[in-house]
């Protein structure tokens, strides 16, 4: 299993029955492949859906039903469509339980940079800044390091911030880390790694509790 699937599999465990969840584009969307089908989870899409379903079968796409990445989707029975003000009222108003986003950098304060590399990559924040402010739980999923083992979990983000002190949990292929007022706490490590290896690949200081869990 590659890093992204390891992350998605572990992150899927964060979603609970009845949760209202917004998944970012890319890696976060992969979580749906690892969800327990018995869980009743309501997916929100910021372009105006509560109750988003799976990708439609080829030939059954409806051009008027798309997700926030512009891809065709289906909706589940009982779904609702709405305009963008209502959509962000749902998000900012605290009605979304969990948001899962990707990251370029995360830091010891629970701040996140994910939307811009000045002069290089400027997609923009889209709905991310509202999601991190409004969702009850903010989970960041990311590979532990960038190319060449360059740390992504830093003392302080150097890129422009998308969220200031809003991240609750970081999930990588190597570790599960909680952002707390005291700093970053290592909760779990991948069964195939060690605490020392995680520390080596993390620039930020990690608080290591007596018990650190393991995940597959």
Partner 1 sequence: MKNKLISAQEAAEKIKSGSSLMYGGFIGVGTPDAIVDEIVKRAPKELTLIGNDTGKPDKGVSKLIAAGLVKKVIASHIGTNPQTGELMGKGELEVELVPQGSLAEKIRAGGFGLGGVLTPTGLGTDVAAGKQIINVDGKDYILEKALKGDVAIISGSIVDKAGNVYYKGTTRNFCPLVAAAADVVIVYAEKLVEVGEIPPENVMTPGIFVDFIVEGK
28 binding partner 1? (CB under 8 A):
no
Task: Count the alpha carbons within 13 Å of 195 in the hemisphere toward its beta carbon.
Answer: 13
> What's the closest the beta carbon of residue 164 comes to partner 1, in angstroms?
3
Residues 97-156 that bind partner 1 (CB under 8 A): 111, 116, 119, 121-130, 133-134
Q: Is 53 in the site for partner 1 (CB under 8 A)?
A: no
CB 25 within 8 A of CB 103: no
> Given the complex with partner 1, which of 24 and 139 has the nearer CB atom?
24
Binding segment for partner 1 among 29-37, 80-88, 172-180, 198-206 (CB under 8 A)?
80-88
Determine the size of the site formed for partner 1 (CB under 8 A): 44
Nearer to partner 1 by C-beta: 35 or 116? 116
26 counts as binding partner 1 under rule CB under 8 A: no
Check binding of 70 to partner 1 (CB under 8 A).
Answer: yes
Structure token pair of residue 157: 């983000």
Residue 87 makes contact with partner 1 by CB under 8 A: yes
Active-site residue, from 46, 108, 173, 188: 46
Question: How is residue 46 written in tokens?
Answer: 């910021």
46 among known catalytic residues: yes
Active-site residues, by number, are: 46
Interface residue list for partner 1 (CB under 8 A)? 45-49, 62-70, 81-85, 87-88, 91-92, 111, 116, 119, 121-130, 133-134, 160-165
């Amino acid at each position: 299993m590659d890093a992204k699937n390891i992350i998605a599999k572990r992150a899927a465990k964060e979603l609970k029955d009845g949760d209202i969840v917004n998944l970012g584009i890319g890696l976060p969307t992969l979580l749906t492949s690892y969800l327990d089908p018995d869980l009743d989870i309501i997916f929100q899409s910021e372009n105006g859906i509560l109750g988003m379903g799976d990708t439609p079968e080829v030939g059954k796409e409806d051009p008027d039903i798309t997700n926030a990445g512009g891809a065709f989707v289906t909706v589940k029975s009982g779904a609702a469509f709405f305009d963008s003000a209502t959509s962000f009222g749902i998000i900012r108003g605290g009605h979304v339980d969990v948001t899962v986003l990707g990251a370029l950098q995360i830091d010891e304060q629970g701040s996140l940079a994910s939307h811009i590399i000045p002069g290089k990559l400027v997609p923009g924040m889209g709905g991310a800044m509202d999601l991190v402010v409004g969702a009850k739980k903010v989970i960041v999923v990311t590979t532990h390091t960038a190319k060449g083992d360059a740390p992504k979990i830093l003392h302080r983000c150097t890129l422009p911030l998308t969220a200031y002190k809003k991240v609750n949990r970081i999930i990588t292929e190597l570790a599960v880390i909680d952002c707390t007022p005291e700093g970053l706490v290592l909760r779990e490590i991948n069964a195939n790694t060690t605490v020392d290896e995680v520390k080596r690949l993390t620039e930020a200081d990690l608080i290591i509790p007596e018990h650190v869990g393991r995940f597959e």
